[in-house]
Amino acid sequence: VTCSWKRPMKTARWWSAAILLLGLAVPGADGRPNKEGFGLPPYRPVVRFRHKDGIPESLRIKGFVGHNGYPGPCEHKYCGLGRHCVVNHETGQGECKCLDHCKPHYKPVCGSDGKLYQNHCELHRASCLRGHRITITHSEECFYKDDNCRLSDYRRLKTKVLDLHDKRYMGSHLHGAHKDNMAARKQLVDMMLKRFDADNNGQIDASELSQVIKQEGLSKDFSECTLFDLLKYNDVNDDEHLTKDEFYTAFDVYLLTLPDDQKVSVTTVTVGQSAVLTCAITGERRPPIQWKRNHQYLNSLNLEDINDFGDDGSLYITKVTTTHMGNYTCHADGYEKLFQTHTLQVNGKRHIVFT
Ligand SMILES: *[C@@H]1O[C@H](CO)[C@@H](O)[C@H](O)[C@H]1NC(C)=O
């Protein structure tokens, strides 16, 4: 008996549910089949039912919900971190765009570009805007990165980095050679350039520097300066990359040349005339030219007769006398091994003899 009266109740409920469904299904205006193709017309009332107050504007902008309540072009589009899908109103398609802004909250992270970001979102957004990958580095490098790196500390850092690479990666017969041999130094710096430039595009960016810092364990050694300071001091054109030239400059590699036939140059001057001795050592970013006579630096002596060294480093003797005869040598500051010898010959005044 108990069973017999319970069943009709159930049936009655089922019927009322069916009527409700029919009521929803019948007034299908455009009767578009849904994605599964079951031909169940309009989807719209269900959506309306879910969002009683209409479709939230945020969902519409994001394209999760199309403008009639149909699934929007962004519904299943995942754009990745720092981006979101936006409906292009001309094409009706969903497009990935960089986030306009992040929710402001402060949970700083270090980016592989050596910068400190307010939070993860800001990092990914920056990465999107700049169009290159910035990863989160799990170290505190960038927290310490500030303006405390002085030039003297920076030089010390570079010397340490050179020595470290010299020890780790150069053949033992070359150890220390970079200190006074330009060819050896260039060899070492070329090797470093290759190691630093992980993606082999001929330039070094912050994320590559960050990798070197990690790989070589450099983050702990230097309290005030980090390898990122290479970008601060040596990124001359400010494009956030180090070119080969900038890298060479950073590590004092100068490709100086002196043609063999100019190793010795003879200049003959008459007493009372002026003389200009030009140093034939050339090279991009050539350090200042130093002149020596009898093992004495002339640049720092305040001589009255030899007081103009010109923009190009040439030696200028205002009024030559016989005391100026002899050898002068020039070299680029710091590279004494490559020098040019100028021999100055002085003729006595020619007397015109009347007969
Ligand atoms: C000057 O230099 C030339 C070339 O190196 C050398 O032959 C000559 O002996 C030098 N003269 C003096 C006085 O040092």
Report the SS3 class of residue 163.
Answer: helix
Cα–Cα distance measured from residue 180 to residue 252, given in angstroms and rounded to the nearest whole number = 11
Domain 151-251, CATH number (from 1.10.10.60, 1.10.238.10, 3.30.565.10, 3.50.50.60): 1.10.238.10
Domain range summary for the chain, segments of one domain joined by +: 73-145, 151-251, 260-347
- CA 178 to ligand 1 center in whole angstroms: 29
CB atoms within 10 A of CB 294: 9
For residue 106, give the 3-state DSSP assignment.
Answer: coil
Lowest mean pLDDT of 47-51, 103-107, 140-144, 342-346, name the range. Answer: 47-51
Q: Average pLDDT in the 308-315 region?
A: 77
Nearest residue to 50 (alpha-carbon basis) of 73, 71, 27, 34 = 71
**Alpha-carbon gap, residue 181 to 158, rounded angstroms:** 17
Q: Please choose from 263, 296, 327 the residue to mutate so as to test ligand 1's pocket, defined by most ligand atoms within 8 A of CB.
A: 327
Q: pLDDT per residue over 288-308, tens digit each?
A: 889 999 888 887 777 777 866
The top-level CATH class assigned to 260-347 is mainly beta
Q: Look at ligand 1, atom 12, and give the residue with the nearest C-alpha.
A: 327
| C-alpha to C-alpha distances, 81 to 142, 208, 240, nearest whole angstrom | 21, 21, 23
Q: For domain 73-145, give the CATH number.
A: 3.30.60.30
- For residue 342, pLDDT over 60 is answered with yes
Q: What are the phi and psi torsion angles at 274 (to 5°)?
A: -100, 160
Confidence of residue 351 (pLDDT cuts 50, 70, 90): low
pLDDT in tens, 71-83: 678 877 788 888 8
CA dihedral sign of residues 127, 133, 134, 135: positive
Nearest to 113 by CA among 206, 204, 196, 228: 206
| Cα 228 to Cα 199: distance, rounded to the nearest angstrom | 18
Neighbours of 190 (CB within 10 A): 14
| Interval 218-251: pLDDT, tens | 876 556 788 988 988 888 777 889 999 889 989 9
How confident is the model over 325-331, as a mean pLDDT? 95
Q: Dihedral (C-alpha) 109, 111, 117, 123: value to the nearest 10 degrees?
A: -110
Residue 273 Cα to ligand 1 midpoint, Å, equals 23
Q: Are 64 and 72 in contact (CB under 8 A)?
A: yes
Ligand 1 atom nearest the C-alpha of 327 is 1
Cβ < 6 Å from ligand 1: which residues? 264, 326-327, 341, 343
- Of 341, 342, 345, the residue with max ligand 1 atoms within 8 A of its CB, to mutate for a pocket test, comes to 341
Residues 77 and 154: their CA atoms lie apart, in Å, by 47
